[in-house]
């Protein structure tokens, strides 16, 4: 049987089409598909890592196409240790909607959940309409980390998730030794 010290539940949320499933696939399996991943077939993907000397089992949950606000079951947020809020740097609306996702987090997630703001598709520079500075500014105002990623080119995907996982593990060590 596989052994681990800590199980970390991460959520990836954000508008439809921003690349949530792609980020998850890149992070958990190191692959990418040009197609819209309507559903990944399961609710989550697993990955194991050693973080701060702890063996960590990381469970990353996908919304599997239920991205309309309020339609995601409240239970989805329950027990989440970390949440990546994703927008698409080529989609203004997805950036504007970040505030709606934050509202859901406030309503349903633990106040201890570690958040990160993720601007995905940074490889599409010619189509970009959300400047890096705007993402940074928003994240600063929320006092959460920010990173621009490309699931396609594997830019910062590892960094984005590991930032969150490390913070979760740090919190756990503080509280439980």
Q: With binding defined as CB under 6 A, does residue 154 bind ligand GDP?
A: no
- Is residue 104 classed as helix, strand or coil in its secondary structure? helix
The answer to whether 149 contacts Mg ion (rule: CB under 5 A) is no
CA dihedral 171, 113, 118, 164 (to 10 degrees): 20
Among 29, 30, 31, 36, binds ligand GDP (CB under 6 A): 36
CA distances from 23 to 10, 74, 177 (A): 12, 23, 31
CA angle (74 as vertex; 29, 172 as ends), nearest 5: 60
Contact at 8 Å (CB) between 26 and 32?
yes
Mask: binding to Mg ion, 37-76, rule CB under 5 A, as x and -?
Answer: x---------------------------------------
Residue 21 as a binder of Mg ion (CB under 5 A): the answer is yes
Among residues 19, 82, 119, 135, the one that binds ligand GDP under rule CB under 6 A? 19
156 contacts ligand GDP (rule: CB under 6 A): no
Q: What's the CA gap between 166 and 77, in Å, rounded?
A: 19
Q: How far is the CB of 10 from Mg ion (least distance, A)?
A: 15
> Where does this chain bind ligand GDP (CB under 6 A)?
16-22, 33-37, 120-121, 123-124, 150-152
């Amino acid at each position: 049987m596989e052994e681990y010290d800590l199980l970390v539940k991460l959520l990836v949320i954000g508008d439809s089409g921003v690349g949530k499933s792609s980020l998850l696939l890149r992070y958990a399996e190191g692959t990418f598909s040009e197609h819209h991943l309507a559903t990944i077939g399961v609710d989550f993907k697993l990955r194991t890592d050693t973080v701060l000397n702890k063996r960590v089992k990381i469970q990353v949950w996908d919304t599997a196409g239920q991205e309309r606000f309020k339609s995601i079951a409240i239970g989805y947020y329950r027990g989440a240790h970390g949440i990546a809020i994703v927008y698409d740097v080529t989609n203004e609306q997805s950036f504007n909607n970040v505030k709606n996702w934050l509202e859901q987090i406030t309503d349903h997630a633990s106040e201890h959940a570690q958040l990160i703001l993720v601007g995905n598709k940074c490889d599409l520079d010619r189509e970009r309409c959300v400047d890096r500075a705007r993402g940074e500014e928003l994240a600063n105002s929320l006092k959460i980390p920010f990173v621009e990623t490309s699931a396609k080119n594997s830019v910062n995907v590892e960094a984005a998730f590991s930032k969150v996982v490390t913070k979760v593990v740090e919190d756990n060590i503080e509280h439980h030794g």
